[in-house]
Amino acid sequence: MAILIIAEHEGGAVASATLNTVAAAAQIGGDIHVLVAGSGVGAVAEASAKIAGVAKVLVADNAAYAHQLPENVARLVTAIVVDQQVIYSHVLAPATANGKNILPRVAAALDVDQISEIITVESPDTFKRPIYAGNAIATVQSSAAVKVITVRATGFDAVAAVGGSAHIEQLAAAHDAGLSSFVSEALAKSDRPELTAAKIVVSGGRGMQNGDNFKHLYSLADKLGAGVGASRAAVDAGFVPNDMQVGQTGKIVAPQLYIAVGISGAIQHLAGMKDSKVIVAINKDEEAPIFQVADYGLVADLFEAVPELEQAL
């Protein structure tokens, strides 16, 4: 029995979420195989082979997978599982945009249920996952022959990216479903760390009043080497782009330090950051729900407190 993991990668590098997913697979038990699908992914395959605990790396290097179109990758994954050269008991992927796009298609093709965003492995067939915006944790048991699972990266400590020596196997088959084609992408460029990988995150909410005032957070973040996020209220108000949103319908983060500025703390936002190691809240409303989860709270006008904090740094 073996576990197949769909590697998350971008720009020729393995994404950190893949390391968290390997950690989840290690807790399930069994041989861990990593699938690297893409075009020109030799470096990603080599890096994947070095991940601790990985026994084999399957490489599908073909133009059909150049942009990881879910219709194409899902057909590839399904074919690998159905092929039966190796009996896979589990198929895992990080709960990223790609993972959430690919695995439901795989589950449908295999006619099994999918288990989404697990945070704990109880046994090979039993898992815990958050529901109701993280206000409750469901324990889910699956009797499916192949368990199709997305993994919430913040629930598992990443394995080491070095130390492994997995065998690399090339896959010749190409699966172009012909249902979609890549048009273009616009990448946001920033010198600051990406939100889900940042060790420190500074986020602003509706209390920032407008987009121009986010300059205070950018300046603070630059001194801390932090990523900058926002609540859904700030995004919906047009203060910042939606790729900065932290929360249930945004990005799930669990940095070492999370600084919430002018954020009231709606449950949808808390669901995306409450696993942070240390939470600091700055809000002039002492009744704001954010203070219920904060390790440190400062009741103050953010337009006075943030510049003072920056000066102190």
| 9 annotated to a ligand binding site | no
Is residue 19 within 8 Å of residue 158, measured between CB atoms? yes
> Which tokens is 237 given?
């108000």
| 265 annotated to a ligand binding site | yes
| 267 annotated to a ligand binding site | yes
Q: How far apart are CA 287 and CA 305, in angstroms?
A: 18
| 90 annotated to a ligand binding site | no
| 256 annotated to a ligand binding site | no
| 205 annotated to a ligand binding site | no
> Which tokens is 299 given?
């009741």
| 250 annotated to a ligand binding site | no
| 42 annotated to a ligand binding site | no
| Dihedral sign, Cα of residue 230, residue 18, residue 75, residue 147 | negative
| 135 annotated to a ligand binding site | no
Q: Which residues contact 7 (CB under 8 A, 6 or more apart)?
A: 14, 15, 18, 34, 35, 36, 37, 44, 48
| 170 annotated to a ligand binding site | no
Is residue 60 within 8 Å of residue 37, measured between CB atoms? yes
Q: How far apart are CA 139 and CA 224, in angstroms?
A: 38
| 134 annotated to a ligand binding site | no
Is residue 52 within 8 Å of residue 20, measured between CB atoms? no
End-to-end Cα spacing for the chain: 53
Three-class SS of residue 202?
A: strand
Is residue 91 within 8 Å of residue 112, measured between CB atoms? no
Binding residues for FAD: 206, 231-232, 245-249, 262-269, 283
Binding residues: 206, 231-232, 245-249, 262-269, 283
